[in-house]
A and B are shown apart, each in its own frame.
Chain A
Amino acid sequence: MSDKVRRRDLLLGAGVVGAAALPIAGPAAAQAPAAKPPAAVHPAPAGYMFLKPSEQAFVEALVDHMIPADELTPSGTDIGVAVFIDRACSGSWGRGDRLYMQGPFKAGTANQGYQLPLTPAEFYQQGIAASNAYCRKTYGKAFDRITAAEKEAFLKGLQASKIELAGVPGREFFDMVYQTVMEGLFADPIYGGNRDMVGWRMVGFPGVSANNAENIKKYNDGMPFKAEPLGIADMS
């Protein structure tokens, strides 16, 4: 493995354990001796760190339903969104970093926001189990085995608060899941999703763009600014 690849792995690892570890990658990388660039430019993080097999199946089915393969992008799983969610759950966000976790825990109004005694990772797991239980009862199979139309009906029902899950607030679960899918589609590739920056290419976002002091003058006539996007790893 070349130093370049090792450095990228380090960055990917930093994304997993959270924000605090990121700056450490900088000096370590800077001290690494120069080496030949590797053939594989975007090593894909393989395998799951956190989700159990039934949860993996749920998440893969979900992200492939929400981000199907078409002329714009490969499927959600193929662009790393399932891996992104796995890493998010196993990392600092999933473990409840910055979440006030003191009781008493009470159900509040919608305007009072999140009030469950669960970390996001725990909520993900509880929500998947309750979703699968609902799907088995209603459609006879777990979420990953039901038809696309059934998936659509289930997700829309959750979103509209028309479906109640046992022991889990369905609408809040949907909101969290949806947020992580959008993050996996559009976050910097160092976190495992948005592989090859396909989410950014889809809309035309140039990523970690550089100097626009000239571009702002040049591109104020309605013409799109187009550039090969750059991610954090490309500039590290």
Chain B
Amino acid sequence: MAPRKLPPVDIVIVGMGWAGGIMAKELGPTGLKIAVLERGGPRSTQDDFNIPQIRDELRFHQRTGLMMDTAKDTLTVRNKLSEEALPMRRLGSFLPGEGVGGSGVHWNGVNWRWADQDLKIRSHYEQRYGKAYIPADMPLRDWAVGYAELEPFYEKFEYTTGVSGKAGNLKGKLQPGGNPYEGARAKDYPMPPLTPSLASNMFTKAATEVGFHPFPRPASQASQPWVNRDGQQLGQCQYCGFCERFGCESNSKGSPHITVIPVALKNQNVDLRTYSWVQKVLLDSTGKKATGVLYVNVKTGEELEQPADLVILSGYQLNNVHLLLLSGIGKPYDPKTREGIVGANYCYQVQGGVTLFFEDRAFNPFISTGSLGAIMDDFHYNQDFDRSKIGTIGGATLAMGGPHGRPINYHPTPPGTPQWGSEFKRATAKWYQGAVNIAATGSVMPHADNCLTLDPTYKNRFGQPLLRMTFDFHDNDYKVIGQATDAAGVIAKAMNPKIIAPGASRRSGWSVVPYQTTHNTGGAIMGAQPGASVVNKFGQSWDVPNVFVTSAAVFPHNSAYNPTGPVGALAFFAADAIKNRYLKKPGMLV
């Protein structure tokens, strides 16, 4: 049966998380007819994040209650091109969200500005270390947008979500206690930093003594009651210890469902349709113009065609790349010939660190919040850190001070402790309060083999091919995290704990099983030229100019920073260009 054709709209936005919410809020006042299609259901603080039910570790952590349902749609995974990819049958390594607010409801709230250290990465390494320093199989690229151009849009995002932090560089002037390596900001953070924990204070002291420059991690948890520029209110963070993987019951974590989405929906012309699963972008006979989208109402099973003049893909990074491939927009990347570009430059992040055990103090790990802690950038945005000694590109942050004490997942014991029995219980009781972790998070640079393609075998609930992920860490990634973990050991010693447990320096490859991070990037990368990129700096497709992509899919590589800051800033940046330029004269913006 042919899909039922709906009356046309001007703009279709696919996905109602941060990016979709920002787009809908910014484009709503144009008065144009906008349909937002969200494949999951509605979400509200009152009904979905209420106390006590939201504070259920089993339901939301173990059983991933707020996340995408892999029974309906998942991807296939493999480490190497020579392996057969098999389905990720349940969530593990990363946790894309589903429903209104997307991953923005269950994030940790760490909100960074990625500056020219990332945005001009290739130029920097070529200049400083020489062209030959960059390996031939590392398709490292500049971002087509610089920090100065993005700065006002970072501010817009920060003053939308709320961020508690301490500026390190105000208008070029370094500020004591902030990050000395950050890009210059025109305005300070909206709120002062969160209240530091014992762990934050200890790390700040020890790292400073060793000669580094720690600062409070920039946090989208409100350190005080706050009203954003749209009049949306945030409550003060309650340090409840149920942040990442959970929705916030006190509306203190900057989230789309309490900021951009309700503002967007005040516009009568913005029509949010939940349970609406977009299957593909429809193109005309030339293949160079989108005519709308095909979607399924998952409550009834009905297929619908929504004609539109402009299509904006604002889903999770993986889903945006999937939709481009399913729709035949752009040339798919072929890792064997290394031709094509859609699906190329898929990146991730790499984790390391050390655990410290103290007998003489309690850290109260359950009194915490997602972004709490002190962090340092001395091996990351600090460009004086000479990479040539270890032969790396990119870097890692080191942090201590969060994020929770939920005991199914958090009951650390020193190495060699039995994992069950009375000895296990005694060790767990002894060290639960006295353990603390220095977490190292490393960037991951693109590699010619790491990519997203369509799977030849496995299908989703609608019979469409699953996205296939080929990914492994490579030598550069292991060296980055190895160096950072060694440095974490040095800082740990300065705190004089009873035991320091070294982080496992694994070289056994990326595994889909244990949780690592939901910082997946790339696959629809931005660039200055068609051919070597999928979209221009505004997220506009080079091949189908009335399709835009917003999300971490446009990132050409991954930083050690969390990605939501630039996801938000780039969404505001693109919305501005669409509103003020594209809609006045549709066509290529670059």
Residues of A within 8 A of B (CB): 19, 22-23, 26, 65-68, 70, 72-73, 92-93, 96-102, 104, 106, 108-115, 152, 155, 159, 178-179, 181-183, 186-188, 190-191, 199-200, 202-213, 215-217, 219-225, 230-232, 234-236
Contact = CB atoms under 8 A, between A and B. Distances in A.
A215 B367 contact: yes
B51 interface: yes
A187 B58 contact: yes
The 7 closest A-B pairs by CB, nearest first: A222-B361, A224-B362, A203-B432, A66-B420, A212-B239, A235-B52, A187-B58
B52 A220 contact: no
Nearest to B432: A203
Interface string B514-535: 0000000000000000000000
B90 A99 contact: yes
Given A111-B513, A204-B362, A209-B55, 4 more contacts: A98-B69, A108-B84, A111-B510, A187-B408
A203 B69 contact: no
Contacts of B511: 110-111, 113
A215 B77 contact: no
Nearest to A211: B238
6 contacts: A66-B420, A72-B429, A100-B74, A186-B57, A203-B429, A209-B240
B78 A112 contact: yes
Given A98-B71, A106-B86, A213 B239 contact: yes
Nearest to B196: A220
B56 A232 contact: yes
Contacts of B47: 23
Contacts of A108: 84, 86
B405 interface: yes
A112 B52 contact: no
Given A112-B86, A203-B407, A19 B63 contact: yes
Contacts of B366: 205-206, 209, 225
Contact of A212 (B238, B420, B509, B512): B238
B59 A22 contact: yes
A67 B459 CA distance: 42
A183 B60 CA distance: 13
B106 to A, nearest CB: 14
B262 interface: no
Contacts of B201: 220
A209 B241 contact: yes
B53 interface: yes
Interface in B48-98: 50-53, 55-59, 62-65, 69-71, 74, 77-79, 83-84, 86-92
B571 interface: no
Interface string B575-590: 0000000000000000
Contacts of A179: 62
Nearest to A180: B62
Contacts of B510: 111
B51 A220 contact: no
Chain B interface size band reads: 35 or more
Contacts of B364: 215, 219, 224-225
Contacts of A68: 421-422
B208 interface: no
B425 A72 contact: yes
For the residues of A in contact with B, the DSSP-based class is loop
A92 B475 CA distance: 41
Interface in B397-455: 405-408, 411, 419-422, 424-426, 428-429, 432-433
Contacts, number: 199
A219 B367 contact: yes
Nearest to A225: B364
Most chain B CB within 10 A, of A221, A224, A230, is at A224
A170 B295 CA distance: 43
B407 A205 contact: yes
A108 B513 CA distance: 12
Contacts of A211: 238
Given A72-B426, A102-B87, A183-B62, A223 B362 contact: yes
A111 B471 CA distance: 11
A114 B514 CA distance: 12
Contacts of B425: 67, 70, 72-73, 202
B425 to A, nearest CB: 5
Nearest to A148: B421
Nearest to A11: B53
A208 B513 CA distance: 28
A217 B195 contact: yes
A109 B429 CA distance: 36
Contact of A100 (B70, B236, B368): B70
A215 B512 contact: no
Contact of A22 (B53, B84, B195, B407): B53
Contacts of A219: 198, 362, 364, 367
Given A111-B79, A203-B429, A222-B360, A216 B90 contact: no
A215 B362 CA distance: 13
Contacts of A159: 419
Most chain A CB within 10 A, of B52, B64, B86, B459, is at B52
A230 B197 CA distance: 23
Contacts of B361: 222
A106 B58 CA distance: 29
A224 B195 contact: no
A225 B367 contact: yes
A19 B67 CA distance: 13
A111 B512 contact: yes
A199 B57 CA distance: 14
A213 B53 contact: no
A114 B89 contact: yes
A216 B77 contact: no
A216 B71 contact: no
B462 to A, nearest CB: 12
Nearest to B358: A222
A217 B223 CA distance: 12
Interface string B218-258: 00000000000000000011111100000000000000000
Contact of B509 (A65, A70, A111, A231): A111
A79 B405 CA distance: 21
Contacts of B74: 100
Contact of A213 (B83, B84, B237): B237
Contacts of A235: 51-52
A59 to B, nearest CB: 14
B55 A232 contact: yes
Interface in B356-374: 360-362, 364, 366-368
B58 A99 contact: no
Contact of B52 (A96, A110, A155, A236): A236
A115 B53 contact: no
Contact of A99 (B71, B236, B428): B71
Given A98-B71, A115-B86, A222 B509 contact: no
